[in-house]
Each structure stands twice: as structure tokens, then as C-alpha cells.
Amino acid sequence: MAAHLIAILLLTTIHHSAADDDRSSLLSFLAGLAPRSRLSLTNWNISPNICNWTGVSCHHSPPLQRVAVLDLSNRSLRGKVSPVLSNLSSLEVLDLSNNFLTGPIPPELGSLSGLKQLSLSSNLLSGNIPFQLGFLNFLVYLDLGGNQLTGQIPSTLFCNYSNAMRKLSLQYIDLSNNSLTGEIPFPSNDLCRLDDLRYLLLWSNDLSGSIPPTLSNSSQLEWIDLESNNLSGGLPPHIFNNMPYLQFLYLSYNNLSTEDLNPFLTSLSNCSRLQELELAGNGLSGELPPSIGDLSVNLLQLHLEENQITGIIHPNISNLVNLTYLNLSNNAFNGSIPPEIGRLRRLERFYLSNNRLSGKIPSSFGQIRQLGLLDISGNELSGSIPDSFADLPQFRRLLLNGNRLSGQIPPSLGNCINLEILDLSYNQLTGKIPSEIAGLQSLKLYLNLSNNNLQGHLPLEMSKMDMILALDLSCNNLSGMISPQLGSCVALEYLNLSKNSFGGNLPSSIGALPYLKVLDLSSNQLLGAMPDSLKASSTLRFLNVSFNNFSGIIPGEGIFTSLTESSFFGNPGLCGYNLAGITHCKPERDHRLGKLIRILVSVMGTLSVFASLFFIACPMMMKRLGRPKCRLPSFRRPVLEHMDSTEDFTFNHCSDYPRLSYHQLVEATNGFADTNLIGSGRFGRVYKGKLRTSTKIAVKVLDQMLDCTATQLSVSFKRECEVLKRTKHRNLIRIVTACSRPDFKALVLPLMPNGSLERWLYHTKRAELSLELAVRVLSDVAEGMAYLHHYSPVRVVHCDLKPSNVLLDGDMTALVADFGIARLVKGGGDDGGASGDFDQSFGCCISTSGLLHGSVGYIAPEYGLGGHPTTQGDVYSFGVLLLEIITGKRPTDIVFHEGLTLHEWVKNHYPNNIDSIISQELTLNLPSVAQHDPLYYKKIKRDLISELIELGLVCTQYSPSMRPTMIDVAHEMAILKQDISRLAVESSPILSNSSFDG
């Protein structure tokens, strides 16, 4: 009995001694870090139990109190990886990834005999990979990717001959994104086998040699990524015969070659789970064999671009019915596009550019309903553009340029209401520009119809393209005058109308385009003087008006100070100063007397016209004073000029609704009963109502509140009317009718069936707010705000973006509402209004603080310093809204309870303690993934939320100049929305069975 007790005491003493060694080693590691890095490890050396230290976990069975896991990933650590970590002799997991650690990897880590996972990825580590790491006999997971490691890969990583004939445990090897050289030292015999290897990631290095044939011994491989190296030799024909689990094979951008693709593709036909195959940017030649159709039916992406593949596109490629991405561009394919391509019903992006394809474009493209991008430019296609393109509801980019297409542009393309890019340039198209194409409001990036044989005038519908950035109609036979309505394309940066037959004067509205950088009008028949708006433009960087009939003096201001004579050649009537090759202007005589006479005559004529109008209009005005009903003003009359008259005034923007009187609004809302009240705010209350026609409406009644004077109330009413009247976007609330009397002012809006975002965040609908819905709503809001900042006819700064001002219609489309304190921007630079002047007639109604524009918690910090409202302030509010949705916490709760802004609170917890800030109600609707692989489900949900949080933190940065624009934000949200949609339709997870033993 005594001996037994002595043994227990001795064992306990040994364990305590070993635990003390672990403590000492951890503290030595801590001392080697930069002082600021230690702030994230503040509880080290405070708690007596090292098992409670941040990032430290201990064994729960003997040896007790010994460190089993040291996970310090994503903690912004700076310093070196200390060799003292090798003293943690019971360590099984060492994860120092995603930090700023420098220096070499200590060879001493090779003595951690029980280590199963070593992750040092995404640091700044340099030097060679120590061969001693090959002595980690139980290692399952090795990740050294994303560093600055050099030298060759030590052969011991793949085969330690001291343990020959023992099956190695490695399942995951990631050495990617370094500067490693030499060959891949895969075992060349059966002495060492990597039977359990599932992931081999060596992309973006400088590796050479061929793909090791013995790779075929690792039959469990799921992911092979050797992309962007200098690997050479032929594509291995038999390596993949015995890899039934292979899902991803990336061999692009090497020096691999073959003249016969058939053996390689045949070997892949056994890989029944293959999802992505990338062979781009190699030296592959020969024809595409019929075996292309024998690849896995699960294949989603196929990259064969930038090779030298010849022959026809074999129709068997249509067997790959689940393809979403197919890139065959920049090869030497000939023949016609096979009509069977229409069987690829899930295809989203298809690239065929820069080949030698001929024949007609098959109408079967219209069967690919998911197609969003089609690029078949740079070929020899002929015939007409098929009408079947109109059947593609997801179409966003269509590039047919550089072919031999003829006939007219089909008006049916106007049905592609999501089209952002349309390039039909360098073809042989004839006829007029269809008004249906000119009126496509979805065109956001560019429309290029240049170098064709188009005729006729510019359609007036072009003024609807208020979001387009570039318009190129050059080298056609277009004629007539340049319409002043083209000035409504307010987002235009590039406009090329050269080499046509346009005549008449150049409208001043062209020069007034607020973002125009390039304007080419050369080789036309334009006449008259240079508009003053051109010299006043602050954005114009290039101007060419050569070979026209312009006359008068070339201004010496603005863009004209930096132009050369080549911009004005071929205009005999132009003269200038100090421009070689241009006629020098002669000094004008003094004609002040003649000018004065002309002015007096003009004034007298104008007065006589006004007098006549007064005597005609006066009796009519007297009659109208007795009429009590609301009336609809003329379409061309400024809508707001009579808002404060004694009449019961109404204006109407939608023919689906009748003109409404005050009494009809009383009747529809049951006398503005409290039971119909659905919201209230600074300027009044919102009531739901129902007209006699059963149409449901929302009536926003403006009221005299404590923090606004009657004047401010009137200004707010006018401002909201003005914004709603002059903006139109699917993500902005539209106005139905407005009614104004001295004692009553109301806006009539469509009733949103799903209420406001506020309701979904904090009331009965919170449990139904999924991550997918949250991303959809945020994407809609971002699109609406991007329109207000950058594309609307008048730039608008909202000033009060928050959940209660985001409404949801029946389809859960989000609409930005409540422009009561918005600011209208008269002009501005490239910042979309950040530096523009504000229309002071619509000055902002300040809050109770007397300074701040907006609502507490959403107000940008610069507003608290008396700054003017800017688009960057709206970006800040959007960021707060985003973080609020993710966390489920009001920004005011954080301010009042913890003294922090929502930005500061999230930043303090992210990324180290992300789970504590994510709202538990945010679910990701991927039930099959959650059930099949809960770890993967958790990972993709965490990744999506991490991207949202990072976007929210960027938007809410303290410095306005560091925040993105709403265009950038909308783009990021659109990508996230597409990612979620793609995940929702995938039948199996990308990383299924991705958990590791130990």
C-alpha cells in the first residue's frame, strides 16, 4: 500500500514538473513576441492554470495539465516562432496561422513527436522548410502556405526512410503561395506510401520537373492543385485512373504539353466525383477528343483557355450537363459552334473568344436559361444575331465583337433587362439602333456598337441609360443632331461618336456630364461654337473635335489649356491663341453699343410677352381660387412651386392610382385611427389605408414635432417630394401622390406587405431572417444607395439610413425610404457627391443636438464635428446597418451599455471571438450540407459572415477617405449574393468528408 502511494506521489510530481516546463516554454514564447502583440494574450501568466490561458487547451486524460493544443491563429502576432515551443512535448496541435510572424521555421519543431497538426500559414516566414519536419510521424495536417519560404521541398516530408515500410498519416499538405523550387519529391517507390493523402496544394511556387507518376499511389486524393508553377513534360496519361474521390484538379499555367488529349481525359473518366478541371495556360495541342464527354457528370467548371487546341468543339462536350463555367477561349478551334451546346442548361459563363469559329450563332443558346455571360468575340462568325438571346433572363454580359455578323440588331435584345455589357463592335451590322436597346436602363458598364454600318438618328431613348459608364458608337453612318437628352446619361465617363455624320450644334448638356473624362466627336459635320460647359468641366481629360465645322474662339480655360492642335484640325472656322497649325484669332472691335441695343430690344420683347400672358392668365387664376379639389399639375411644370398654396393640392406619378383628396385619405385610414398606425418618426406618422378600389396604401402624414419648426417641416416635405420625384430605381420607394394644405401635408406611398427591416430585426420576424435573406436585403440597399450617390439625375445623400427606413415588398425586395432629411447635390467630383455643393433650398433638418445629421448610432463621426453630409457618411450608416444585422444588436445598445461604437465592439471581438458577436438567429438554409457535413456547413457560414463583418468594418472606418464607395459596396454584396445562390443549388459540399483524425 505504501509503495502504491509513493508511486502516485512520484507520478504527480513528474506531471507537475512537466506542466511547469510547459508554462516556462509558453512564457518564453510570449517574451519573444512584439510588445503590442502580447495584448491579445493578456491572461497569460495571470491565471495559475495554463489550461485557462487564451489559445491553450490541455489533455483531459494522462498526461494531465500538459498542453495539447496551442491555437493562436488570427491574433496579429508579430515576432518569431520560438524554438522553445519544441519543449511542449505533449503538443498535438500547433496553429499560428494568419499572423505576422517572421524569420525561419525552427528545426526543433521536428522533435514534437506527438504533433498531428502544424499550421503556420499566412505569415511572413522565410528560409527553407526544415527537413526535420519529416520526423513528425503522426502528422496529419501540414499547412505552410502563404509565406516567403524558399529552397526545395525536403524529401523527408513525403518519405522518412528511418520509418520505411510504415504507412504515413499525412492527409493534408499545403505549401502553396511561396517561392519553393526544384521537383516535387514524391516517393518513387513503395517504401513510403501516402495512402491517406487527400489534399496536395503546391500552387503558386517555382516548382519544376514533371508530375510524379507515383502520385497514383495516393488513391484517396480529393484535391490536387499544382497551378502556377514551371512543371513540364506531358500530361500524365495514367495517374488518375485510380482516384475515385478526386474532386478538384488544377494544373493551369505550367509548361505541360501534349498532342493527344485523349489518354489524359480517358484516365479522368474514372474520377466520378470530379467537379473542377483546370488546364489553362499550358502548351496543349491536338484536337478535343470525343472522350471530353466521358468526364464526370458532376463537373461544374472546365478551363481549357490559352492553349493551342485545334479542330472542332466536339458535340460530346454537351454531355457535361452540370457545367456552370466553360472556358475554351484563346485556342485554335475551328468549325461551327455545335447546336448541342444548348443542353448545358446550368451554364452561367461561357467563353469562346479568340478562336477561328465560323458559321452562325446557334439559336440553341436560348435554352441555357442560367447563362449570364457569353463571350464569342474575335472569331469569324457570320449571319444574324439570333432572337433567342431574348429568352435569357439572367443575361448580364454579351460580347459578339470582332466577327462578321450582319443584318440588323434584333430589338428583342431589349428584353434582356439585366444586361450590363453589350459589345457588337467590329461586325457588319446595318439598320438603325433599336429604341429597345437604347432604352436598356440595366446597361451599367458599356455599350459598344462601333465599326459597323449602322444608320439613322440617335434614339431619344438613350437618355434612359442613366447608369452606363461608356458609350462607343464610332465608325458608323449615324446622322442627325446629337440629342441634348444624351446629357441624362449622367454616369457617362467615356463617349465616342467619332467618324459618323452628325450635324448641328453640340448640346451644352454633353459638356455638363458630371463624370465625363473622354469625349471624341472627330470626323463629323458638327458646327457652331464650343459650348461653355466643356471648359467648365472639372473631369474632362481628353477631347477631340477635329474635322468638323466648328467655328469661333477656342477657349483658353479648363480642358482646353492642356490640348494640342491635333484636337482641332479640320475646323477652318476655329481660331485660337498659341496653337500651332490653328488660325490665330484677330482682336475684336468694340461693339458695346450694338450689344446694348440688342439687349434692350430683347428685354422689351420679353416684357411685352409677360404682359400679354398676365392679362390672359389672370381671369383663369381668379376662377381657380374658388375650386376646393386637388388638381394634377402640368407634367412640365415644377411640381413643388405651389405646394404651400391654399388649395388641397395633389400630384400623381402613377396611373394605377386615382387622384386622391384629403377626404379620401381620411376615409381610407378610418380617420387616421390609431389602429391603422404602422410607424412614426421625427416628422410624423405613417398609417396604412385601403381605398374604395381595395388598393392598399401607406399615408405618411407630416406633423409638427418638438425638434422641428414649421419651416423645417415644410422643407422636409418639399425635400422628400423632390427626391422621390427625381429618382427612380427598383430599390427606392416610389411616390404615388402627395397632398398639401396649410394645415395638412402627406405623402401617399405603396403599402409594403412585409413592413420594415426594423420589424424583421427586433420584432416578430427575427426568427425568419436567414443569412440568405440578410444578404439579399443588404445587396438591394447597396444598389439603391449606389444609384442615389452615382447614377440618379440628381445626386442624393440620404442622411438617415437605418432599419426602419428600409422597407420590404411582397417579394422581400428591399426599398430605401424616408428622404425627409436627404441632401440634394448640385454637382461634384468623382466622389459622387462627397465634395459637391448642396442645394441649400433643401437644407437638412438637424437633430436635437443641433449638429448631427441622422439618427444616433448611425451618424458618421465626422458629422459630430460639424461636417457637411457626404456620400461617405451614408457608407458609414450602411456599415452600421450591416453590422447590426449580423450581430442582432442596436448600435445604441452598444453605445449606452458598453461605451463603444458598434464598429469598435465588433472589432474587439473579431476575428478571435467571432461566435460571441454573431446573432444566433442567422441561419444558412443548406439543410443537406448541414446534415451531411456539419463541420463544412459551419465553415461556409462562418466564412460568409466573416466577409460581411469585414465589409461592415471597412465601411465604418473613422476616416471618411478610407471608406469604399457605394458602387464598390454594391459590387461586393452582389458577389456574396451570387456565392450563396451557387451554394444553395450544389448537391454536395466542396469539402465533404474534410475532417481529420485527431
Q: Which amino acid is at 742?
A: P
Closest CA to 768 of 921, 911, 872: 921
**3-class secondary-structure state, position 816:** strand
Cell numbers placing 915: 461566435
Beta bridge partners of 287: 310
Q: Which amino acid is at 854?
A: G
CA angle 562, 564, 569 (to 5 degrees): 140
Cell numbers placing 721: 417630394
Cell numbers placing 272: 466520378
Q: Phi-psi category of 456—alpha, beta or left, where left has phi over 0 and alpha has psi -120 to 50?
A: left
Residues 6+ apart with CB under 8 A from 563: 543
Cell numbers placing 620: 383663369
Q: Would the annotation count 517 as a binding residue?
A: no
Pairwise CA distance, residues 601 & 290, whole Å: 85
- Identify whether 800 is a catalytic site residue: yes
> In this structure, are residues 827 and 833 in contact, taking their beta carbons and an 8 Å threshold?
no
Instruction: Give the alpha-carbon dihedral of 193, 195, 196, 202, to 10 degrees.
Output: 60
Q: Which amino acid is at 738?
A: A
- Among residues 22, 95, 375, 800, the one annotated as catalytic is 800
Cell numbers placing 162: 528511418
Q: Which amino acid is at 456?
A: G
Q: What is the DSSP string of 202-257?
A: --SSEE-SPPPGGGGG-TT--EEE--SS--EEEPPSSGGGG-TT--EEE--SSEEE
**3-class secondary-structure state, position 301:** strand
Pairwise CA distance, residues 549 & 568, whole Å: 10
Q: What φ, ψ does residue 221 adopt, rounded to 5°?
A: -60, 135
Residues 423, 427, 429, 432, CA torsion sign: positive
Cell numbers placing 9: 506521489
Closest CA to 176 of 226, 211, 103: 226
Q: What is the DSSP string of 459-518?
A: PGGGGG-TT-SEEE--SSEEEEEPPGGGGG-TT-SEEE--SSEEEEEPPHHHHT-TT--E
Q: Binding site residues for ATP, as ranges?
A: 700
Residues carrying an active site annotation:
800
Q: Binding site residues, as ranges?
A: 700
